[in-house]
Chain A
Amino acid sequence: MSDPIREAAPMRISPLARRLVAATIAASTVVALLATAFQLYLDYRRDLGQIDATFNQVSQTYLPTIANALWATNRHEVQLALDGLKQLPDVQYVAVHEGATLWAEAGRRNAARVQSRDYMLTHQHRDQLLTIGTLSMTVNMDGVYQRLLEKFWIILLSNGIKTFLVAGFMFWLFHWFITRHLQKIAGFAARLGSENLNQNLRLDRPTQKTPDEFDQVVDGFQLMQSNLKAALEALKQDIQARERVEEELRQLNAELEQRVADRTRMLQEQARIIDEIHDAVISIDMEGFLTSWNLGAERLFGYTATQVLGRNSCVLFPNTQAVLDPQRIQDGQAFEAPIQRKNGEILYAHLSISALHNADKQVCGYACYALDISARKQAEALAARRATELEASNRELEAFSYSVSHDLRAPLRGIDGFSQALIEDCGSQLDQTGHEYLHRIRRAAQRMGLLIDNMLRLARVTRSEMHYTQVDLTALATAIAMDLQASKTHGGSSIRVQPGLSAYGDQALLHIVMENLLENAIKFTSKTPQPQIAVGVEQLNGRLIYFVRDNGAGFDMAFASKLFGAFQRLHREEEFPGTGIGLATVKRIIRRHGGEVWAESTLGKGSTFFFTLPNSQLADATYPLDNATA
């Protein structure tokens, strides 16, 4: 992401300066060459001018002399003049021709680069200007060219040296004033990074009076550095903010992914649950066509998913209209309806149908949960039938009891009443045996009345509704004991009732229990010298066991199983009177409370009757027997 700062390339020595110098040298050389050429040209022209001057001098100085000598035909003089000409610089060859005839000459014509000129030799003779001959003069140009060449080299050398010196100086100047600073700037710029942004660019030169471009560069660098610092700071903050955002984004993403994973897992789990659930879960689209089908549905309806998906739900529900009743679906009511299996069998199912909604909250189908309740329906029908039967039987029993209560007793009262009337009205006509018989008739009638009453009570105990309350057994037993003590049947027994006895049960029924047990206890202690009866509670394994204990006649434990059966008696009537229904009634009442009743006894030493009432709380009986009152 971040390129390492590129180091500046190793700098060769002032390439800029060298280029500058090279350009300067090149330009100077061109200028020097041009100047040299120009100068050479001028020199050449001057030399040519000198030659022309020489020729002119000849023409002015020597021509008349030569012409006169020629005229005079003074060959010697002509030769002298020609030798004199020959002495002039660069003159190589001079000759005088008279017509075509060579008349005199000096020098030789041997050079390639020459310039020749011919002059007319004239002589004024009488007014007639006569051409008497021709002077030819050849000038050697080699000297001129030689001089020019020498000059050229001198100029070139001097210009070259000058240019080199200037260039060297320029190079130094340029290096000193510019390139070394540029290199430093370049190095500084190359090294400039976020870590040394505070370091200032300082050039190795004295302070300038007036700021120049380098000062501007330095200022520019400082400004740039401070701008960079600010930008870097802003960037850093930006990056931090961005990192924070990225971190948040990462967390959000992770959270989202976790949620997606959770959701996916949940959906898979739900799908698995739906598939593995024992009951049928199916879905139906708006047109009633089946869109999903679990294994429970396969079991319930007998179709596999491939057999049934895409078919209309009317194959499953004989009464589809009623099943897909929108109002009921909206109310979310579960209901029971017949369903049809693949084999045509009609079952009863508990159906719960929920509307399914698409993303726009529009109902797009229905989910249906179906549970086979055929067995329950059958059981319910059976139970209802049983209940009806039981009710009928109860009604019969009730009618029977009612009838017994009314109709069976009335004749007894007649028997008893008229026996008494007979005794009263006709007693004088009867002997002792007759009276005795009449008393027996009355006793029998009264006993039957008692039997009927007890039987009815036993029946009522079974029929009556239970009203559970917290019953104060101590108060109950005490009250019964007082009632019994007040009656004639009581044989003066001491009855001790443990205080604080409490039980949870039906007050009226528990009254019957205590009454029967206490009556029994009193009855069977009636022949005991010091009768003792105790009512209390014991705890055994966290269970409350109520008891009624006496020191009376007791019974043989071998017959204990018969004790609580109706009409079962372990004593003869003459010993202890009774109907044999009391303990059956007690058992039935305790059973109705969900408890148990049993007895322990030693013949001749007394009996203890125990009973439990499971709904009674342990804490209800708190007082020990020691505080019992007589």
Chain B
Amino acid sequence: MEQQVILLVEDNPDDEVLTVRALRKNNILNEIVVARDGVEALDYLFGIGIHAGRDLSRQPQVVLLDLKLPKLDGLEVLKRLRADPRTALQPVAVLTTSNEERDIVSSYQLGVNSYIRKPVDFNQFSETVRQLGLYWLVINVPPPTYG
């Protein structure tokens, strides 16, 4: 069985490092693909642009999606994923700093699977990421692979 991939969409390099560190420290050793803006994330998921020709049968086990992103923001990315039949069922967890109500509501309206707020306290953050990884990679049953 192939290693499951995690797509981390994160523009802040600090957050990227801390997130990856937290995952690794919690023994989540899956491949982590990082997209640094919304366009890059879509390129990866649809196999276009810089990811042209990618094998689309291997989609991420979960997309960890920040909301505040350059070019296309996280909500727009989410909207496009849900609009395309190939990615309509893709598990997406918003992992963001914001706890603005409108972000939470919009995310769920667009069909997000989970909404997680990044705590400032790294210990809490680490714990959150551990649980996240455990849930999405081990506990959660993903939709059947397609494409």
Contacts and interface: CB of A to CB of B under 8 A. Distances in A.
Interface stretch (B31-39, B43-51, B52-60, B98-106): B98-106
B122 A417 contact: yes
B21 to A, nearest CB: 6
A417 B100 CA distance: 22
B131 interface: no
Interface in A440-478: 442, 445-446, 448-450, 453, 456, 460, 464
Interface in B67-124: 67-68, 96-101, 118-123
Given A401-B100, A402-B98, A402-B100, A418 B18 contact: yes
A435 interface: no
A406 to B, nearest CB: 5
B75 to A, nearest CB: 12
A416 B120 contact: yes
A382 interface: no
B20 to A, nearest CB: 11
B99 A405 contact: yes
Most chain B CB atoms below 10 A, which of A401, A417, A421, A448:
A417
Contacts of A448: 120
A414 B18 CA distance: 8
A425 to B, nearest CB: 9
A409 interface: yes
B121 A416 contact: yes
Contacts of A190: none
A449 B98 contact: no
Contacts of B18: 413-414, 417-418, 421
Given A406-B96, A420-B122, A445-B120, A413 B101 contact: no
B120 A449 contact: yes
A419 B122 CA distance: 9
A410 B97 contact: yes
B122 A412 contact: no
B14 A413 contact: yes
A412 B120 contact: yes
A397 to B, nearest CB: 13
B100 A413 contact: no
Contacts of A409: 97, 118, 120
A412 B120 CA distance: 6
A453 to B, nearest CB: 8
Contacts of B27: none
A549 B12 CA distance: 46
Given A416-B120, A421-B21, A405 B98 contact: yes
Interface in A403-439: 405-407, 409-414, 416-421
Interface residues of B, number: 21
Contact of B118 (A411, A413, A445, A464): A413
Contacts of B120: 409, 412-413, 416, 445-446, 448-450
B14 A414 contact: yes
B136 interface: no
Contacts of B67: 406
Contact of A449 (B12, B121, B123): B121
Given A402-B100, A405-B100, A413 B15 contact: yes
A414 B96 CA distance: 14
Nearest to A450: B120
A417 B15 CA distance: 9
A416 B68 contact: no
B97 A406 contact: yes
A410 B12 contact: yes
A417 B125 contact: yes
Contacts of A456: 99
B14 A460 contact: no
A406 B126 CA distance: 19
Contacts of A464: 101
Contacts of B119: 413, 449
A44 to B, nearest CB: 169
B21 A413 contact: no
A173 B14 CA distance: 166
Contacts of B68: 406-407
A282 to B, nearest CB: 53
B13 to A, nearest CB: 9
Given A414-B14, A414-B18, A420 B99 contact: no
A419 to B, nearest CB: 8
A413 B125 contact: yes
A453 B18 CA distance: 21
A456 B100 CA distance: 9
A219 B43 CA distance: 139
B17 to A, nearest CB: 8
Contacts of A442: 121-122
Contacts of B21: 417, 421
Interface string A46-64: 0000000000000000000
A537 to B, nearest CB: 30
A414 B15 contact: yes
Contacts of B122: 413, 416-417, 419-421, 442
A417 B99 contact: no
Contacts of A414: 12, 14-15, 18
Nearest to A463: B101
A410 B14 contact: yes
Contact of A446 (B12, B99, B118, B121): B121
Most chain A CB atoms below 10 A, which of B67, B97, B120:
B120
A405 B15 CA distance: 15
Contacts of B99: 405, 453, 456
Contacts of B15: 410, 413-414
Contacts of A412: 120
B123 A413 contact: no
A313 to B, nearest CB: 54
Contacts of B123: 420
A429 to B, nearest CB: 19
A348 B119 CA distance: 58
Contacts of A453: 99
A442 B123 CA distance: 10
Nearest to B12: A410
A42 B121 CA distance: 190
A398 to B, nearest CB: 9
Interface in B115-145: 118-123, 125-126
**7 nearest interchain CB pairs?**
A449-B120, A414-B14, A417-B122, A417-B18, A420-B122, A406-B68, A409-B97
Given A409-B120, A410-B12, A445-B120, 16 more contacts: A402-B100, A405-B97, A406-B96, A406-B97, A406-B98, A407-B68, A409-B118, A410-B97, A412-B120, A413-B18, A414-B15, A416-B121, A417-B21, A421-B18, A449-B120, A456-B99
25 contacts: A402-B100, A405-B98, A405-B99, A406-B96, A406-B97, A407-B68, A409-B118, A409-B120, A410-B14, A410-B15, A412-B120, A413-B15, A413-B122, A414-B12, A414-B15, A416-B122, A417-B14, A418-B18, A420-B126, A421-B21, A442-B121, A448-B120, A449-B121, A456-B99, A460-B101
